Chain A
């Protein structure tokens, strides 16, 4: 009960000054942590790391600093441990939010940043995945192409990198346009 109350408080009273970031070993850990914390109702956002801790294909989780202990405890219950927890001291990079849509007859392509997904609107089969540069992109394509939108694995569940995360954003838009 207390936990629920605290989460609600965090959602309503946030400002950049009282936000911190959770830094993880890799993007997979970030995605797992995001799933756990979102399902738990925490007020979190996935962002780009500040330059001083950037190493390559990075994401961090921005969270209400005051809830640090509870959040760390919740993550430790599923064996997820951030490598660093630091206060936000500069403006963090926002993930891509501008999507492009293009129709080729019965096919619809959606692009998010460098990732593209194409679906047959009549059969709702994923017919192509393209773009990207991280090694999970060809892997994701193998897993998703020729699958129905309903049954294809989600990029965020089987991918590891920012390209997978961008593909997830494109995938969600396609689902919204074709299934909802």
Chain B
């Protein structure tokens, strides 16, 4: 039985231009066999959710290093649910203080991967979670 490759949207919400982490993660996921779409910088939550739906992704990975994560990450989760795409796994990364990470998890962000995270941790997490949703 062939399964569809896992599809991931990597997105940069807000005005933050630090995209090194987003691009490194995107490339590592692609090398791991996922289909990866990168939005580029300066995306609104609405644009990200639209792209996630248009591209029919399993996962949205959000990256923000400007401190705007509390504003944008929960908003993406909320809009996905509103559009009937609440099963999309939302994960995040960036400069995110530990307290904020806990708060974000309570608001539906499945995991926060901070600086120094090995990309294989992210890959393993996505595989496991998407598997669980699909079965």
A and B co-occur in one complex = no
**B interface residues with partner A (beta carbon < 8 Å):** none
